[in-house]
């Protein structure tokens, strides 16, 4: 999910900077950048300072759960099974929120960009991401 949000965030930040310098009327690009950043912050810790901030988001919670399950010889506890379901629901909610936002707000923004003869902001699919990663183009 972060791989889908981050490119939108990066592109919208760049386009926002360009738009404010060249096309001051496009406020929605700045709004799109802020919206993508809010969704990304639900998934990953973003505070400065690295591990010492204590900030935990979905990714950190999933990593902790994975480590607890994998490095214990016994079966996962009921609490770990419940956490797995909760994290899955939370990720599904974020994905649905992003899909709704990209279909509604990003589509409107792309229409506005097209009117200014600018390229649209495109959300990559999982298969596109995997292809770029396999070809050395991903991070």
- Concatenated DSSP letters of 44-112: S---TTGGGG----HHHHHHHHHHHHHT-SSPPPHHHHHHHHHHHHHHHHHHHHHHHHIIIIIHHHHHH
- Whole-Å CA distances, 8 to 21, 35, 79: 20, 10, 35
Q: So what's the pLDDT on residue 39?
A: 84
Q: So what's the pLDDT on residue 138?
A: 46
State how far the Cα of 68 lies from the Cα of 46, in Å rounded to an integer.
23
Q: So what's the pLDDT on residue 60?
A: 84
Domain residue ranges of the chain, discontinuous segments joined by +: 2-134
Q: What digits encode the pLDDT tens for the residues 25-58?
A: 566 777 777 888 888 888 877 766 655 555 677 8
Q: What digits encode the pLDDT tens for the residues 59-95?
A: 888 889 999 999 988 999 999 999 999 989 988 898 8
State how far the Cα of 1 lies from the Cα of 62, in Å rounded to an integer.
13
């Amino acid at each position: 999910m972060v791989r889908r949000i981050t490119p939108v965030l990066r592109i919208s930040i760049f386009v926002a900077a360009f738009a404010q310098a060249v096309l001051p009327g496009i406020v929605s690009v700045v709004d799109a950048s802020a919206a993508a950043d809010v969704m990304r912050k639900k998934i990953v810790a973003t505070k400065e300072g690295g591990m010492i901030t204590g900030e935990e988001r979905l990714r950190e919670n999933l990593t902790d759960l994975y480590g607890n399950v994998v490095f214990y010889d016994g079966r996962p506890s009921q609490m770990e099974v419940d956490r797995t379901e909760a994290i899955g629901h939370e990720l599904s909610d974020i994905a649905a929120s992003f899909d709704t936002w990209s279909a509604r707000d990003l589509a409107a923004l792309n229409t506005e960009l097209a009117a200014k003869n600018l390229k649209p902001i495109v959300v990559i699919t999982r298969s596109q991401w995997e292809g770029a990663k396999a070809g050395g183009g991903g991070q």
